[in-house]
């Protein structure tokens, strides 16, 4: 058997999330990949570099599959890509060693969040979240406070039980953009790994600081797992799994 890594982009509005749902009438990204691979005679589980919730998109999710030795990366990409389109875009396929694991072999991952305080045309609403913004500099400062190794237990979705809630965020960046004639903002977060819903919960709290709903000290107390002050996540629309690194600089 051969092992392949697939780099995919997908429209999260078309799926119930990345992870299997095993519920009739509900389709996840991984289930769609598995069922499409079956049409090629490839019966393989799909292992991803992360998981995204319903409505969350991907620009560069990496997954691993296994297939018979008759397959090569070029032929697999050529035949599989049109079967996944248009909701999933197959961006690249390459052969990997059997020890490669999309999640545990990763050195870093990035997320992007695109939001606007204005009402967008309906064509853009699945991809740009509507979130009000208070003080721009306060949001910028709060995002910088996320950088470093911290116990993000209070920025995790309840019901998840990871072995550790310690995560390292390497960098954050906030920039203003104009999309469809409206003022928008893009947040980029790079970290070694993320807890379930961590990015949305962090962004929700950072935006709350910008609007004066909670203070910077409140945010720091929650960041350090002392006390939860805010638990409303930012909207899933506008959140993108950006990129995963297995080597090199990030």
Task: Map out the domains of the chain as residue ranges.
Answer: 2-96, 108-245
Residue in 53, 69, 72, 217 annotated catalytic = 53
Q: Which of 102, 114, 194, 115 is nearest to 157 (CA)?
A: 194
Q: Which of 222, 121, 134, 244 is nearest to 185 (CA)?
A: 134
Beta strands in the chain (DSSP E): 2-10, 47-48, 57-67, 88-96, 108-116, 129-130, 148-151, 166-179, 182-191, 239-245
Q: What is the pTM of this model?
A: 0.93
Residue 154 falls in which region: left (phi positive, over 0), alpha (psi -120 to 50) or beta: alpha
| Reported confidence tier of residue 26, pLDDT bands at 50, 70, 90 | confident
Distance, CA of 91 to CA of 99 (rounded, Å): 22
Residues 6+ positions from 48 with CB-CB distance below 8 Å = 18, 29, 30, 61, 62, 63, 102, 103
Please check whether the domain covering 108-245 is classified as CATH 3.40.50.720.
Answer: no
**How much of the chain, in percent, has pLDDT values that exceed 70?**
98
User: Which fold does the domain 2-96 belong to in CATH?
Assistant: Alpha-Beta Plaits (3.30.70)
Phi, psi (degrees; rounded to nearest 5) at 70: -70, -15
Q: Which residues is 48 bridged to in the sheet? A: 63
Indicate whether 159 pLDDT > 70.
no
Indicate whether 250 pLDDT > 80.
no
Phi, psi (degrees; rounded to nearest 5) at 95: -80, 140
Could you give the 3-state DSSP secondary structure of residue 175?
strand
Indicate whether 152 pLDDT > 90.
yes
Identical fold between 2-96 and 108-245: yes
Question: Tokens 């310690």 identify what position?
Answer: 166
**What is the predicted pLDDT for the residue at 24?**
62
Distance, CA of 113 to CA of 223 (rounded, Å): 19
| Reported confidence tier of residue 157, pLDDT bands at 50, 70, 90 | confident
* Cα angle, residue 53 at apex, residues 241 and 201 outer, rounded to 5°: 80
Do residues 56 and 12 lie in contact, with contact meaning Cβ atoms separated by under 8 Å? yes
Segment 6-22 mean pLDDT: 91
Q: Are strands 2-10 and 239-245 parallel, antiparallel or unpaired?
A: unpaired
Q: Would residue 69 show up in a list of annotated catalytic residues for this protein?
A: no
Cα 48 → chain centroid: 11
């Amino acid at each position: 058997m051969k092992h392949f890594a697939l780099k995919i982009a997908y429209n999260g509005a078309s799926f119930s999330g990345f992870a299997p749902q095993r519920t009739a009438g509900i389709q996840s990204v991984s289930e769609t990949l598995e069922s499409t691979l079956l049409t090629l005679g490839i019966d393989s589980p799909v292992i991803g570099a992360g998981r995204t919730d319903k409505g969350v998109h991907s620009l560069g999710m990496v997954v691993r599959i296994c297939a018979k030795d008759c397959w090569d990366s070029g032929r697999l990409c050529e035949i599989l890509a049109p079967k996944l389109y248009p909701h999933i875009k197959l961006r690249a396929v390459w052969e990997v060693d059997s020890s490669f694991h999309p999640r545990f072999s990763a050195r870093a991952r990035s997320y992007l969040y695109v939001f606007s305080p204005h009402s967008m045309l309906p064509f853009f609403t699945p991809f740009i979240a509507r979130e009000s913004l208070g003080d721009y500099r306060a949001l910028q400062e709060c995002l910088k406070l996320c950088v470093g190794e911290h116990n993000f237990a209070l920025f995790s979705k309840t019901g998840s039980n990871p072995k550790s809630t310690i995560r390292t965020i390497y960098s954050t960046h906030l920039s203003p953009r104009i999309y469809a004639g409206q003022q928008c903002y893009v947040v980029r977060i790079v970290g070694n790994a993320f807890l379930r819903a961590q990015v949305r919960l962090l962004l929700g709290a950072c935006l709350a600081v910008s609007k004066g709903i909670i203070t910077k000290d409140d945010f720091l107390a929650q960041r350090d797992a002392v006390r939860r002050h805010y638990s409303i996540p930012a909207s899933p629309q506008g959140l993108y799994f950006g990129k995963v690194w297995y080597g090199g600089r990030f």
